[in-house]
Amino acid sequence: MRKKIIEMRGIVKSYYLGTPNELEILHGIDLDVYEGEFLSIVGPSGSGKSTLMNILGALDRPTQGHFFLDQLPMENVKDEGLSKIRNEKIGFVFQTFNLIPRSSALNNVALPMLYGGKSRSVRTKRAKELLELVDMTARSHHRPNELSGGQKQRVAIARAMANDPAIILADEPTGALDTHTGRMVMDIFHRLHQEQGKTIILITHNTELALETERTIRLKDGSIVENKINEKIQLEGSYESA
Amino acid sequence: MNLLENIRLALEGLRANKMRALLTMLGIIIGIASVMAISTLGSAMTGSVSKTMDKIGGKNISVSLTPKNYDSQATLQPEDYITQDELNSFKETYADQIRAISLSSSLGSGKLNSGYVHKDVSVTGANPDYRLVNNINLVQGRFISDRDIQSSRNVIIIDTTLRNNLVGVNGDPTGMDITVKTKNTNETYTIIGVYEKVVIDNPLFNMGDDTRIECFIPITTAMSLNSASTSIPGYDNFTIMASANADTTAFAQITKQYFIKNMGALSDYTIEAQSMEAMVSEATSMLSTLSLGISVIAGISLLVGGIGVMNIMLVSVTERTKEIGIRKALGARNSAIRSQFIIEAIIICLIGGIIGVGLGSVLGVLGSSLLKFPSTPPVGPMIIALCFSMGIGVFFGYYPANKAAKLNPIDALRYE
Ligand SMILES: Nc1ncnc2c1ncn2[C@@H]1O[C@H](COP(=O)(O)OP(=O)(O)OP(=O)(O)O)[C@@H](O)[C@H]1O
Ligand SMILES: [Mg+2]
């Protein structure tokens, strides 16, 4: 029996737009994710995927329901505690990369370790290793505006890995990339999943990419409408040989 | 989140907006520079005042008969003068407060003739205490003695310039006779001593014509030569040197009361006694009024500067909302965000403060050299100015930094 890393029960998220007309986005989500799983979340635009991911990533709190992250009940955690959880247990990869524009690739990767209180030498060493892992060593001193989209996303993945998190949350990481670079990014995720046993939750609009993952959740209008185990498909991608 | 990283981050941010940072600093620069300039000037002035006090005697009280009403044509009556007997009993009464009483009587200007040397001099009659009270620095021979006074001897003390003219730098003029013509009569004096003139280079104390050569003779000799004073039974002014532990301001008051008792009620004259300390504090109060004025300007400038820093920090927080969101998503605590922005504000203010201290020191040194005070910028106010500018950074940086720290991570990340 694998360890449950995420357990969600009856998660509701509402927004208050003025007092009377409350806007409920998520209507009671139940979700379990096991350690080492590669999960994809699909669904039409506006269905609440990003909203769900913000809750999964401890960026936001649900309006109702229970959420256990690594067995820890999140409703008891204070804001400072959420910061610590984001820093230690979560690695975010965003569609628009979200790198710090004034910092070099190396400093961007080192940033979560800085907030984690690691020493400068440890940060630099680890950041270099991670840039090596995503094949970005040559660009480690470049700033984000000197990098292509695919390169930025590789730096962002390296940054997500900085504190060796339990879960990587990727919200449409290939959404801003062409098929080829998107493929490259997906290969990196597969490698992290297979070689390092990372739990990865991937939000995507691309059904083909979703099929590459072990399990797909389909959201519609704020509810889970499908939870499907994908057959193992043989990828002709380069990640196995890399 | 360590301090060094925060400083590095802040400098990175400032480098990206150099011009904006400089303009923001301007208020701080002007404020700190004016504080620094005035304190450099002030310390130069007080430094030179206390040096001058050492030279001219900080314990001195000058006492004089002054008209009650300056408009009237008052003249001194014989009974107005303070007699030697009155002075003696005064000195006895306050023996523990008085160290010396200097008496002098000017014979006015005269002409010295000695061989080839012809010089304009001024001749002053003095008592033995004159030397101590006026800090006469004797380099050769001796000063006027009690016996010189008693027998109204024709002896004279000249200054080094005159000595150099008469016998050269290495010569000894004591024992030499010189003739000085004052009040149209020639008198021959024997030189008994040479003194070195003290140069007081302080514009606050204008000691009159410094190029004049002053010679001293016994006061009794001077009074008998001064035909007008033959009938004068005493002195219209003298200088007291108070003892080291005396409160000169209080003793000046006591002195005034003591002599005013002896004055006839109908006299046109009264006694004024003013301590050197009081005169100095009068001179320095002018300075403190000036520095108060400049401090107010500096304060306003620092306030405006601080508000400018706050404004630019608010702009910076808004501009970097997304960045703040990213940092929070990566696990930055609110306190880390807060200290990042506070340190940025502190650094803006500190750099402004450093530029201000530099600029103010230069201005202060220039200003005081223009007024002929030797000066070096004081270290104390420098440190205070730098600490104060950092304080401004903390005070005006706190609100924007706290605003940044309290941003909701999702809203910040969504910010376009
Ligand atoms: N702060 C908010 N206030 C009000 N409504 C919000 C807020 N944030 C999100 N929503 C709404 O929540 C719904 C779900 O948004 P969400 O971003 O989760 O969709 P999504 O599934 O990620 O869509 P996409 O595929 O386009 O990224 C949308 O209708 C959106 O308008
Ligand atoms: Mg979305």
A87 touches ligand 1 (CB under 6 Å): no
Q: Which of B76, B83, B71, B73 is nearest to B267 (CA)?
A: B76
In three-state secondary structure terms, A225 is: strand
The 3-state secondary structure of B40-83 reads HHHHHHHHHHHHHHHHHCCCEEEEEEEECCCCCCCCCCHHHCEE
Distance separating alpha carbons of residues A43 and A222, to the nearest angstrom = 10
pTM comes to 0.73
pLDDT in tens, B285-325: 777 787 788 888 888 888 999 999 999 999 999 999 999 99
3-state secondary structure of B320: coil
Cα dihedral B155, B161, B166, B172 sign? positive
**Contact status, residue B87 vs residue B183, Cβ threshold 8 Å:** no
Beta strand residue intervals within B222-308, DSSP E: 234-235, 237-242, 269-275
Range in A100-104, A224-228, B276-280, B304-308 the model is least confident about: B276-280
Digit-coded pLDDT (tens) for B272-288: 888 877 777 777 777 77
Which of A54, A60, A111 has the CB atom closest to B330's CB atom? A111
Lowest average pLDDT, out of A15-24, A222-231, B13-22, B204-213, goes to B204-213
Cβ–Cβ gap B331/A112 under 8 Å: yes
Which chain B residues have a beta carbon less than 8 Å from that of A100? 323, 326-327
Residue B323's pLDDT is what?
Answer: 94
Amino acid letter for position B296: V
Structure confidence at residue A235 (pLDDT): 58
Residue A229 CB–ligand 1 contact under 6 Å: no
End-to-end CA distance of chain A: 31
**Residue B191: which pLDDT band, with cuts at 50, 70 and 90?**
very high
- What pLDDT was estimated at residue B193? 92
d(CA B377, CA B374): 10
H or E element: which one contains B318? Answer: helix B276-319
Which residues partner with A167 through β-bridges?
A90, A199
Chain B residue numbers with beta carbons less than 8 Å from the beta carbon of A103 are 12
Give the integer Cα–Cα distance in Å for A221 and A52.
12
**β-sheet bridge partners, residue A11:** A29
pLDDT at A241: 38
Strand, coil or helix: what is B343?
helix
Beta bridge partners of A200: A38, A168
Confidence of residue A179 (pLDDT cuts 50, 70, 90): very high
Buried b (16+ CB within 10 A) or exposed e, A223-238: ebeeeeeeeeeeeeee
Instruction: pLDDT band for A240, please (50, 70, 90 cuts).
Output: very low
Which residues 40-69 of A are in CB contact (within 8 Å) with B? 54, 57, 59-60
CA separation for the pair B6, B285 (Å, rounded)? 46
Would you mind telling me the total number of residues written for chain B in this entry?
Answer: 416
CA distance B183 to A80: 96
Q: Closest partner residue to A59 among B16, B323, B329, by Cβ?
A: B329
B402 contact partners, CB below 8 Å, separation of at least 6: B338
Contacts of A114 in chain B (CB under 8 A): 1, 5
pLDDT in the model for residue A238: 46
CB count within 10 Å of CB B79 equals: 13
Of the pLDDT bands very low, low, confident and very high (cuts 50, 70, 90), residue B1 is low
More confident of the two residues B381 and A93: A93
Convert the pLDDT of each residue in A127-156 to its tens digit: 999 999 999 999 999 999 999 999 999 999
Q: Is A218 on the interface with B (CB under 8 A)?
A: no
Q: Which of A113, A114, A169 to mutate to test the interface with B (most CBs of B within 10 A)?
A: A114
Does the distance separating the beta carbons of A84 and B330 come in below 8 Å?
Answer: no
What element of type H or E holds B202?
Answer: none
Give the span between the Cα atoms of B160 and B34, in whole angstroms. Answer: 44
Angle (nearest 5°) at CA B354 between B357 and B374: 25
Q: Which ligand is nearest to the CA of A44?
A: 1
Alpha carbon of B287 to ligand 1 centroid (Å): 68
